[in-house]
Chain A
């Protein structure tokens, strides 16, 4: 149980274009989903927290107009990187959490490369 999927697993896009990453909880309903970013040899950096049906809460320093998050259902959250630049190249990971639980279950991650 507690399986989270992400799509795509990797994507290459040109500078200036937008990329959408999907995060799905496959066997449970996730009231809260999180989006992280990981730089090489560094820890996970929380970007934003999204609750189903409401606006995402962004961490300090994360541009909400650049990283659009939508959590339209209890099993799906999307992250759209708008007007991507090479510095946005990174490994993006989502996680999902059951209501009332502390454990987060992570997706396999998406490798974004902006050329």
Chain B
């Protein structure tokens, strides 16, 4: 049972445009959500997070939106840069667990 889903395995965007990465979850007990960026053969790097009491959190070029009723969150990167090319994982936690439940990742390619 995949509790956190990233339905787009890949996304290609032109440099300077907006990248929108999507994530859906099924467990209503999740109350904290995170986005990580990962390059091949490296560990994930924490990008941004959001608590369920908020619907938006912004940090520089990165903004995360949370729609609790739809159990959906998205990461917006604007403007996109070639260095943003990586795999992006969303993760969720909450309820009785202290574990992060990861999505399957979306490979973002930002074309120069």
Interface residues of A, Cβ cutoff 8 Å to B: 2, 4, 6, 32, 34, 42-44, 46, 49, 91, 93-95, 97, 102-109, 111
Contacts and interface: CB of A to CB of B under 8 A. Distances in A.
A106 B32 contact: no
Contact of B34 (A91, A93, A94, A103): A103
Contacts of B93: 102
A46 B105 contact: no
Given A42-B104, A103-B46, 7 more contacts: A34-B99, A43-B104, A43-B105, A91-B41, A102-B32, A105-B46, A106-B45
Interface residues of B, number: 19
A81 to B, nearest CB: 18
B42 A43 contact: no
B104 A104 contact: no
Given A32-B98, A43-B104, A102-B34, A95 B41 contact: no
A79 to B, nearest CB: 14
A109 B34 contact: no
Contacts of B98: 32, 49, 97, 102
A108 B46 CA distance: 12
Contact of A102 (B42, B49, B104): B49
Contact of A108 (B42, B89, B99, B104): B42
B25 interface: no
Contact of B42 (A32, A105, A109): A109
Which of B32, B43, B45, B100 gathers most chain A CB within 10 Å? B43
Contacts of B45: 106
A15 B98 CA distance: 34
B43 A106 contact: yes
What 8 A-B pairs are tightest by C-beta distance, nearest first? A106-B43, A102-B32, A43-B104, A106-B44, A109-B43, A108-B43, A93-B43, A43-B102
A94 B98 CA distance: 15
